[in-house]
């Protein structure tokens, strides 16, 4: 029997909205290009070459991993957006392709100088092949398994790709220049959204990759200035609930949810479960996707039983009352063992059926 995606759709979206009609804790995973290549044996360029090939590869990978979630890894404002900017500004030498992992952008090459920022052309995403195929793939997934695809947008992730380390110096020596870059990236994100609307349709949620909200990168005030204010503007235009992703090691989750109305937060740090218990107590209406399961720890170095312990700890502490989704953060790396990934849905089956049995 094939996977029951309808059940997964209900599980995920009902959990996020706080519905009590959820059978068990959902399992969300970020299977990026690396994992899809590993499972299907295809190269990244093969995946990207055809929405049909890409759709089938994504579905078979997520089904193999037994997740409740599914997404198109390249339909995200990270490397794909850097590629779009590189193409629009004739700077493709900034892009490096790999066979079995996503493309990379040499940070700081596209906007090396002030003039580069002044003259930076905003990409037309309808003309970028990778974006076009990624959006068509999202549409095909919607059609094939009826799983509404969530749009992922970001400001700071793209700033880092385009401006690199100079962006951090700009904060002190030329904030207006940095804001000018942020504004252009905002316009570009809205162009992605317009294309998404046209090709995929209205997304159920926006998933913000809010990398600026990290203490080791900048002050909270700066993160609001260079990313937060643009997210608020997105919210005024895109009238669906927003979720915040942050896979950094010192996130400002507590601070940011006071300023911006997110319905869910997604991250693994802090790794202390007590932080997440406290977060849930203080913000009962915000779903937690993740908590303290990090792909570079138990998932990578531990055994399936180590992973099971971690999942159990999370479920017993965070699932009662709902609004908890089990999720290792961030993207599943090449080297993580498949039994460790599969240990998550197994542990959910053991401990995560509602009502949660505390003993």
Partner 1 sequence: MTANESLEKLKQAIIQGDSQKAILLVKESNEMGIQVKEILNRAILKGAEEAGKLYEEGEYFLPDLLMTGDAINAATEILKSSFDLKSEIETKGTILIGTVEGDIHDLGKSLVVSLLKGQGFDVVDLGSDVPPEEFLRNAKEINPKLIGLSGLMTMSISKMIETVNLLKSENIQSRIIVGGGILSKESCEMIGADDFAKDGWEGIKKINKLI
Positions in the binding site for partner 1 (CB under 8 A): 34, 96, 98, 101, 104-107, 160, 164-165, 168-169, 171-173, 215-219, 222, 248-249, 295-297, 300-301, 330-331, 333-336
CB 108 to partner 1: min, Å: 8
C-beta of residue 332 within 8 angstroms of C-beta of residue 66 = no
Nearer to partner 1, 57 or 295 (CB): 295
CB 334 to partner 1: min, Å: 5
CB 252 to partner 1: min, Å: 12
Task: Tell me the pairing of strands 287-290 and 151-153.
Answer: unpaired
Nearer to partner 1, 142 or 254 (CB): 254
CB 172 to partner 1: min, Å: 5
Nearer to partner 1, 6 or 165 (CB): 165
Task: Quote the CA–CA distance of 240 and 203 in Å, as a whole number.
Answer: 8
CB 144 to partner 1: min, Å: 29
Nearer to partner 1, 63 or 259 (CB): 259
CB 296 to partner 1: min, Å: 4
Best CA proximity match to 7, nearest among 137, 204, 206, 146: 146
CB 61 to partner 1: min, Å: 17
* CB neighbourhood size of 30 (10 A): 20
Nearer to partner 1, 129 or 219 (CB): 219
Q: Residue 211 has which token pair? A: 């990398």
CB 283 to partner 1: min, Å: 23
CB 166 to partner 1: min, Å: 9
Best CA proximity match to 67, nearest among 336, 326, 334: 326
Nearer to partner 1, 109 or 145 (CB): 109
Nearer to partner 1, 320 or 334 (CB): 334
Nearer to partner 1, 91 or 101 (CB): 101
Nearer to partner 1, 123 or 248 (CB): 248
Best CA proximity match to 8, nearest among 75, 74, 59: 59
Nearer to partner 1, 180 or 297 (CB): 297
CB 170 to partner 1: min, Å: 8
The residues pairing with 242 across neighbouring beta strands, listed in sequence order, are 206, 262
Alpha carbon distances (Å) from 217 to 109, 151, 193, 244: 20, 25, 27, 17
């Amino acid at each position: 029997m094939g996977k029951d995606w309808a059940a997964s759709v209900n599980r995920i979206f009902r959990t996020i909205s706080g519905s009590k009609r959820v059978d068990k804790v959902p399992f969300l995973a970020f299977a990026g290009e690396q994992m899809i290549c590993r499972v299907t044996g295809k190269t990244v360029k093969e995946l990207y070459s055809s929405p049909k090939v890409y759709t089938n590869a994504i579905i078979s990978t997520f089904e193999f991993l037994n997740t409740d979630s599914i997404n198109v890894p390249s339909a995200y404002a990270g490397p794909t957006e850097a590629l779009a900017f590189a193409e629009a500004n004739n700077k493709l030498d900034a892009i490096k392709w790999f066979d079995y992992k996503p493309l990379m952008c040499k940070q700081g090459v596209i906007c090396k100088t002030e003039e580069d920022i002044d003259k930076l052309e905003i990409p037309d995403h309808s003309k970028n092949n990778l974006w076009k195929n990624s959006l068509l793939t999202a549409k095909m997934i919607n059609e094939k398994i009826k799983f509404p695809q969530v749009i992922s947008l970001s400001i700071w992730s793209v700033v880092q790709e385009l401006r690199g380390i100079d962006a951090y110096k700009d904060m002190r020596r030329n904030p207006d220049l940095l804001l000018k870059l942020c504004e252009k990236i905002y316009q570009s994100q809205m162009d992605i959204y317009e294309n998404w609307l046209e090709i995929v349709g209205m997304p159920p949620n926006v998933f913000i990759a809010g990398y600026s909200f990290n203490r080791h990168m900048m002050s909270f005030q700066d993160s609001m200035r260079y990313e937060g204010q643009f997210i608020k503007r997105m919210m005024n235009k895109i009238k669906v609930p927003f979720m915040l992703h942050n896979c950094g090691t010192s996130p400002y989750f507590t601070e940011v949810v006071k300023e911006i109305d997110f319905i869910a937060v997604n991250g693994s740090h802090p790794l202390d479960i007590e932080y997440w218990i406290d977060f849930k107590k203080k913000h009962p209406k915000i779903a937690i996707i993740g908590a303290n399961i990090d792909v570079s720890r138990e998932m990578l170095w531990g055994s399936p039983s180590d992973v099971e312990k971690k999942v159990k700890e999370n479920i017993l502490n965070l699932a009662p009352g709902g609004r908890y989704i089990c999720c290792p953060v961030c993207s599943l790396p090449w080297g993580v063992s498949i039994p460790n990934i599969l240990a998550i849905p197994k542990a959910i089956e053991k401990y995560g059926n509602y009502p949660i049995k505390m003993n």
